[in-house]
Amino acid sequence: MDINDRITDTLALAERLIKLLDQENDLLKSDDTTALAEMVGEKTNLAMAFEKAYKAIEDNQEELKEADEGLREDMRDIAERLSEVMVENGKLLNVAIDARQTVLNLFREAAQQGAPNTGAYSASGVVDDGRVDKKKRASVAFDQSL
């Protein structure tokens, strides 16, 4: 396969990857986690295929010099578009991750605050069960021998 064919194939992969990332960005904005989960495998496979094809072209700089100037220009343009879409995707993914982490932290804190405390003796020897409404409690014992 000559360099022009490899560039054409790589451009096709890049276009598909850009389209997929645009779809993922839209899903991230609408918080459609089910559809996002379904895309992970396709995104991974497509990104790996593109990276492999791009590296093969990049590793052959001598052949690349002989490639059609229009295709080389197309490669520069698509690289710029791909970079822009990837930056947006990264930002949206970070926002989604941060939002979910915040929700998880709120649930964790609520669970910790609502958990019963076994109580412990304070410095003055009084049982402190961690409740805010600390009332004085009398100790009671039951002697079964009576």
At 139 the pLDDT is 56
Mean of pLDDT values over 118-146: 57
At 119 the pLDDT is 59
At 146 the pLDDT is 43
Domains, the chain: 3-112 (1.20.58)
Contact by Cβ (8 Å): 36, 28:
yes
Mean of pLDDT values over 122-140: 58
pLDDT (tens digit per residue) in 70-118: 999 999 999 999 999 999 999 999 999 998 899 888 888 888 787 666 5
Mean of pLDDT values over 129-139: 54
Contact by Cβ (8 Å): 10, 75:
yes
Contact by Cβ (8 Å): 50, 10:
yes
At 114 the pLDDT is 72
**Integer Cα distance of 74 and 14 in angstroms:** 11
More confident residue, 137 or 13: 13
pLDDT (tens digit per residue) in 41-67: 999 999 999 999 999 999 988 898 899
Instruction: Give the pLDDT band (50/70/90) at residue 131.
Output: low
More confident residue, 122 or 138: 122
At 112 the pLDDT is 79
Instruction: Give the pLDDT band (50/70/90) at residue 4.
Output: very high
